[in-house]
Amino acid sequence: MKDVLPAEIIVRDVCRVKKGERVLIVANPETNMIAQDLFESVKKAGGEPVLVFQTAKNSFDNASPEVLASIATNPDLCFSVSSSKLGKDPGAAAHPYVDEKGTKFMHIFDFLLNGKKSMRAVWMPGITQEMYERAVQIDYKELASRCAALKKAYEKAVSVHVTSSGGTDVVVPVAGRKALEDDGDFSKPGSGGNIPAGEVFISPVVGTGNVQDEGNILDKIKQKIGGQGDDESEGGVRSGAEGKGAQADGSKAEEKNVPAASGTNGKIVFDGSMTFGDGDAILETPIVVQVKDGFVSDIDGGEEAARLKKTIADAEAKSLAMEKEGKLPEGEGSVYRRNARNIGELGIGLNPAAVITGNMLEDEKAFRTCHFAIGENYDNDAPALIHLDGVVREPTIEITYEDGSKRTILQNGELVL
């Protein structure tokens, strides 16, 4: 396998490109070599590739109109090979696409992938040449088997208890939620995910916390960070089109199964790496996050904790500003502001070639880790401008089921399947 280009593995084994399929590749000059490899591999497989370049986009940047128009042609397969982000869709943010179930989508990419399910996709935000050459060439059959077993372990789960030697001790309600997988099989319309692949993840039930009186919210947010909220942060905020490929079915937790806790509760100690408004980084000092009823209530640590606070505060302020400017539908600004503190994901890394490098695209796939995200989730009931992943090293994870039984799926980082 090592004699085969990673792009050929992606095209042949991951996406299974067929003769005559239309394949759109969106890239930046910084990712030119990977994009060219994909272009040639698609041609070799008999597909019809089109390669479009745009300047690198950060968190609050919009995608180029030409890129959005290209995606709107509804290709069979779309690759986003971005040095940071694909970019937002301002038209859809102001006037969302709506599928047959009534689910709203804030990006044409998401609508075609998860709404119409007419397109499949691969996205690689932050991909580097070294990561591409090392973490792509894995056994995808083994990965799929591992993902399927872990996904099955979440069936009929009520809650998940995560602890770690670093101090994490948090209970995550998941009743009625479905676990999702990034297993490297993006061969069917409506399927998609990251490359490098390799994780199983789930959206916690949205809690009842973080209820705030309206007042002058913008002023309150700015006061929290000493006026830093006036500066718009870049990077680290989830582009609507670059989540993990969860199929947006608009599902909600069934109230009868929701445990007594009104959302995620406890303490998360991030001690691996973290996504911030100005990029990803390996943590020099752990970030201690207190969570109450599903939402971040306090953040403690060193300079990196301050960076996280600023990113969240910027997202809160930006949410209200975007509604005022007509860039979010009326009433959505306060929803997005609230969800900037939501615990939106619990994921488990399953790629044996992935290591913690300070690049979240790879870090969240690493063995012996789990990660939580602050912000938007994958069940379409907690929209936010941010999705900030943070890695916890060597966790122990125990699932509690509807019948009261318990099962440990990770013990000090080791998979127990």
Q: What pTM was estimated for this model as a whole?
A: 0.86
pLDDT of residue 241: 55
Q: For the chain, how many residues are written? A: 417
Report residue 164's pLDDT band, with 50, 70 and 90 as the boundaries.
very high
**% of the chain with per-residue pLDDT over 70:** 87
Cα–Cα distance for residue pair 210/264, rounded to 1 Å: 12
Report residue 59's pLDDT band, with 50, 70 and 90 as the boundaries.
confident
Give Cβ neighbours of residue 38 (< 8 Å, ≥ 6 apart).
7, 10, 11, 25, 49, 79, 81
pLDDT of residue 216: 41
Please give the average per-residue pLDDT across 21-40, as a whole number. 97
pLDDT of residue 380: 86
Per-residue pLDDT at 42 exceeds 70: yes
Cα–Cα distance for residue pair 248/225, rounded to 1 Å: 34
Return the structure tokens found at 251.
Answer: 């599902």
Per-residue pLDDT at 222 exceeds 60: no
Asked which of 16-25, 107-116, 212-221, 399-408 is least confident by mean pLDDT, the reply is 212-221
Report residue 212's pLDDT band, with 50, 70 and 90 as the boundaries.
low
Mean pLDDT of the chain: 89
Contact between 384 and 376 (Cβ < 8 Å):
yes
What is the 8-class DSSP label of residue 88?
Answer: B
pLDDT of residue 21: 98
Report residue 277's pLDDT band, with 50, 70 and 90 as the boundaries.
confident
pLDDT in tens, 349-396: 999 999 999 999 999 999 999 999 999 999 989 999 999 999 999 999
Per-residue pLDDT at 192 exceeds 60: yes
pLDDT of residue 70: 98
Q: Which region, left, alpha or beta, applies to residue 333 given φ > 0 means left and ψ of -120 to 50 means alpha?
A: alpha
Q: Which region, left, alpha or beta, applies to residue 335 given φ > 0 means left and ψ of -120 to 50 means alpha?
A: alpha
Per-residue pLDDT at 271 exceeds 50: yes
pLDDT of residue 58: 80
Tell me the three state secondary structure of residue 112: helix
The helix or strand, by DSSP H or E, that contains position 315, with its residue range, turns out to be helix 303-324
Closest among 40, 120, 132 to 82, alpha carbons compared: 132
Please give the average per-residue pLDDT across 300-322, as a whole number. 96
Contact between 377 and 294 (Cβ < 8 Å):
no
Cα–Cα distance for residue pair 21/297, rounded to 1 Å: 48
Per-residue pLDDT at 231 exceeds 60: no
Return the structure tokens found at 225.
Answer: 């960070």
Q: Which residues pair with 399 in a beta bridge?
A: 160, 407
Per-residue pLDDT at 227 exceeds 60: no
What is the 8-class DSSP label of residue 186?
Answer: -
pLDDT of residue 2: 56
Give Cβ neighbours of residue 51 (< 8 Å, ≥ 6 apart).
25, 27, 35, 36, 39
Tell me the three state secondary structure of residue 332: helix
Report residue 279's pLDDT band, with 50, 70 and 90 as the boundaries.
confident
pLDDT in tens, 77-119: 999 999 988 999 999 989 999 999 999 999 999 999 999 999 9
Report residue 252's pLDDT band, with 50, 70 and 90 as the boundaries.
very low
Per-residue pLDDT at 256 exceeds 80: no
Q: For the CA atoms of 27, 36, 243, 135, what is the dihedral angle to 10 degrees?
A: -140
Per-residue pLDDT at 312 exceeds 70: yes
Is-cis flag, bond preceding 196, omega within 30?
Answer: yes
Please give the average per-residue pLDDT across 260-274, as a whole number. 90
Q: Which amino acid, residue 182?
A: D
Please give the average per-residue pLDDT across 333-346, as a whole number. 97
